[in-house]
């Protein structure tokens, strides 16, 4: 999507430029999108601990550590979601109406696939196998 007051020279010329742009955007999106989830998943890894008693100091330290990790995970997740919502609002405010509508169609299509098509497909595969 381009800004409303774009320079005409910024429009991709030819199929090669368009494919290159799409590839670069796709790769950047995947890499940037994976980093936060990988960090959060790494923070949430836990192992079973055997404690003789509930008042064992090692057990109490581990519980406190887990509680702190949970708070950090919740805080980082809320901040990330807030940033993403802000980024989307700024994006929509700065593109042409046609690009905004195209973005909306992509979002609705992606949500429909995630909410309906994927579970339906998985269910069909599980029951036919």
pLDDT band per the 50, 70, 90 thresholds, residue 1: low
| pLDDT tens for each residue of 86-106 | 988 898 888 888 888 888 888
* Total-model pTM: 0.62
Q: 82 or 33, which is more confident? A: 82
DSSP codes, the chain:
--BTT--GGGS--HHHHHHHHHHHHHHHHHHHHHHHHHHHHHHT-------SSTT-HHHHHHHHHHHHHHHHHHHHHHHHHHHHHHHHHHHHHTB-HHHHHHHHHHHHHHHHIIIIIHHHHHHHHHHH-
Q: How confident is the model over 40-45, as a mean pLDDT? A: 84
């Amino acid at each position: 999507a381009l800004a409303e007051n774009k320079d005409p020279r910024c429009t991709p010329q030819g199929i090669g430029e368009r494919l290159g742009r799409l590839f670069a955007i796709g790769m950047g999106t995947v890499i940037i999108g994976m980093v936060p989830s990988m960090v959060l998943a790494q923070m949430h890894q836990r192992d079973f601990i055997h404690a003789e008693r509930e008042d064992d100091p090692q057990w109490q330290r581990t519980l406190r550590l887990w509680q702190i990790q949970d708070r950090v995970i919740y805080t980082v997740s809320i901040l990330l979601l807030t940033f993403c919502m802000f980024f989307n609002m700024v994006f929509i405010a700065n593109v042409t109406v046609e690009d905004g509508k195209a973005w909306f169609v992509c979002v609705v299509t992606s949500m429909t696939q995630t909410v309906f098509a994927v579970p339906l497909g998985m269910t069909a595969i599980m029951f036919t196998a």
